[in-house]
A = this chain, B = another copy of it.
Amino acid sequence: IRVGYPEVIYCEGKTVEQVRDIIKFMNTKDSNILATRANEEIYNAVKKICKDAEYNKLGRTITIRKKEEKLTNDYIAIISAGTSDLPVVEEAAETAKILGNRVEKIIDVGVAGIHRLLARLDKIRGAKVIIVVAGMEGALASVVGGLVDKPIIAVPTSVGYGANFGGLSSLLCMLNSCASGISVVNIDNGFGAAYNASIINKL
């Protein structure tokens, strides 16, 4: 509906056939295509009807590029604490890139090791907009928020157990952040964070 935008399909709760047929139809048009929450079975079915489909296994995204988009000069920084949050980081990164944004990932900087974060401050401060992905206590958003003066999109993740209650702890932590400049999207919503960041990055 929006010119220049990729077509996006959210695969969760759709059958392999439904996704394949939708992509087949999308593929008759000019736009790039992004499928999120796609498992390997879906990818295999899509690959058969579209040789150019690429799969990001960790991020569970399929991308089909018709034309090479010119990337922005400004970049989106995507920050996370560790390997468990990588699927959300990858979903965000794939989304940001197919929307035409330059992306920088800073993915080993949890609050429990603050010096690693401080060591990367220049890269973080150089971004036009920042995505912070964090599960468990989600404190990373607050700490980054206190260090930079850029818009921060915080993504709580469902990583954790027990009193994590499926991401609730991280979500509430981020919503209550006493650092300014932070807004929040749904738990595990790497796509939404990147879509937001992209609009801002292109302002």
Contacts and interface: CB of A to CB of B under 8 A. Distances in A.
Given A137-B138, A139-B139, A162-B188, A178 B110 contact: yes
A174 B2 CA distance: 22
- Which interface residue of A180, A181, A189 has the most chain B CB atoms within 10 A? A180
Contacts of A203: 128-129, 151, 200, 203
A159 B114 contact: no
Interface stretch (A23-31, A39-47, A61-69, A141-149): A141-149
B81 A146 contact: no
A111 interface: yes
Interface in A97-118: 110-114, 118
A161 B83 contact: no
B146 A178 contact: no
